[in-house]
Amino acid sequence: MRIDVHPAASRFVTSTDWLVSRHSFSFGPHYDPANVGFGMLVAHNDDVLQPGGGFSDHPHRGVDIVTWVSSGALSHSDDVGGSGVVSPGVVQVLSAGRGVRHSEVNASDGVTRYVQMWVSSDDDSAPAYLVAAASAGAGDFGLVASGSGGAPLRLRQPAARLYAAALTAGAAAALPLGMYAHLFVVDGAALLGEVALLAGDAARITRTTGRGALSITATADAQLLLWAMDVARWRP
């Protein structure tokens, strides 16, 4: 099993007067040919929006876009009738399919922080917007979104599953692994084996042989997001 740790400080950063966005992969003007995705993940952005800030109408296609809000509230509107406001404990999935346009703006009076994750998909059907209550599992990884069912939110990428965990200091949980797994520390700190992870750090895990097993222990109260992906390679 291979584990590659990517510290928070290594991420690309886009900063404006209304946004600070930290990118785990190449994004927008930031490009590294050796860091364009992992598994089926093609974007993993940790965004902080100031009051009144947001993204005006813009297009997407061929991706499932999952948004996890850790503070504040985010308003979504698209050109196929989807709209909603997501806040902590509520998660949204925009399946872009053959094409959709949408906008997202801070819907709170204060700062809104959210993690937005894009999963590549071959789906070319009509776009769809889903929203559901889905919080981090207390003491374990709870399934949030999946392309194979059994989750509050359905993805159109059958090879991907998103889990979330809320661990108190000292608690441990087993990681539900796929061939690829992407672990992100939203808040807090944890030990992955003997590797210390802090807020904003990520670990990219590749299972090279066998099933394998891996656990994580919180060294401070921690919120964790984990993608498990059953694919042999990343595809654009």
- Enumerate the domain spans of the chain: 2-229
CATH number (1.10.1840.10, 2.40.160.60, 2.60.120.10, 3.40.50.1240) of 2-229 reads 2.60.120.10
pLDDT on residue 149: 87
pLDDT on residue 231: 76
pLDDT on residue 236: 40
Average pLDDT of every residue of the chain: 93
pLDDT at 232 over 70: no
| 92-112 pLDDT, tens digit each | 999 999 999 999 999 999 999
pLDDT on residue 42: 94
Q: Which string of DSSP letters, residue by residue, matches 141-172? A: PEEEEESSSSSSEE-S-TTEEEEEEEE-TT-E
pTM summary value: 0.94
pLDDT on residue 234: 47
pLDDT on residue 192: 96
- What percent of the chain is modeled with pLDDT above 90? 83
pLDDT on residue 191: 97
Go through the chain and tell me how many residues it has. 236
Residues 226, 28 contacting (CB under 8 angstroms): no
| 124-182 pLDDT, tens digit each | 999 999 999 988 878 899 999 999 889 999 999 999 999 999 999 999 999 998 889 99
pLDDT on residue 212: 65
Which burial class, exposed, middle or buried, applies to 13 when counting CB atoms under 10 A from its CB (0-12, 13-18, 19+)? exposed
Sign of the torsion formed by the C-alpha atoms of 78, 80, 85 and 86: negative
pLDDT on residue 1: 84
Residue 233 banded pLDDT, cuts 50, 70, 90: low
